[in-house]
Amino acid sequence: MSLFSFEDMKSIKRETLGNLVPLELFRSVRLIGMYQGLPMKGKNTTLTVGREIGKSMSISSIDDLLQIFEDLKIGIPKIVRQTKEEMHLVIEDCFCEGLPVAEGNMVCDLEGAILEGALSTIYEGKISIREIKCNVNGDENCEYMIKFS
């Protein structure tokens, strides 16, 4: 039994400040604290953190997951190509949109790991997800390639 579930996170009783925190806080945790603050741009940590979050979500389908991703305002995922073996996802309005471009940096790995962790609860085979484009890298969108095997 986990101490906290994703459902628990929705239990919010803040009378004055409500259920939202500004995007700059999320970005600060993600980019200043993790990407910049951890060794190797936080690679292993973001993978573990993202997967754990994803696994805690009770999703019943891919559509379900994409809706949660948008509800959480991480970004608006659009499937641009899908076969049995892979799914190509474009993220519109990603949380990183508008940050200064820093070529060579793709910063949305944790969000990809969330997708991977959640998908692992509804798919029995192996899933690997790769971040292939990122606004911060100067690309037109953030994109993921997910492979099912």
Residue 37 or 98 with smaller CB distance to Zn ion: 98
Token reading at 76: 């608006």
Residue 113 or 142 with smaller CB distance to Zn ion: 142
Residue 87 or 134 with smaller CB distance to Zn ion: 134
CB of 91 to Zn ion, least distance (A): 6
CB of 34 to Zn ion, least distance (A): 14
- State the distance between the two ends of the chain, measured CA to CA, in whole angstroms: 29
Q: Do 122 and 115 meet the contact criterion of CB atoms below 8 Å apart?
A: no
Q: Do 83 and 149 meet the contact criterion of CB atoms below 8 Å apart?
A: no
The residue written with tokens 């953030």 in the block is 142
Residue 57 or 108 with smaller CB distance to Zn ion: 108
The residue written with tokens 């690309």 in the block is 139
Judged by the rule CB under 5 A, the positions of this chain that interact with Zn ion are 94, 96, 108, 142
Neighbours of 41 (CB within 10 A): 17
CB of 58 to Zn ion, least distance (A): 25
Distance CA 121, CA 54 (A): 9
CB of 74 to Zn ion, least distance (A): 8
Residue 85 or 103 with smaller CB distance to Zn ion: 103
* Helix extents (H) in the chain: 6-9, 23-27, 43-56, 62-71, 109-119
CB of 142 to Zn ion, least distance (A): 3
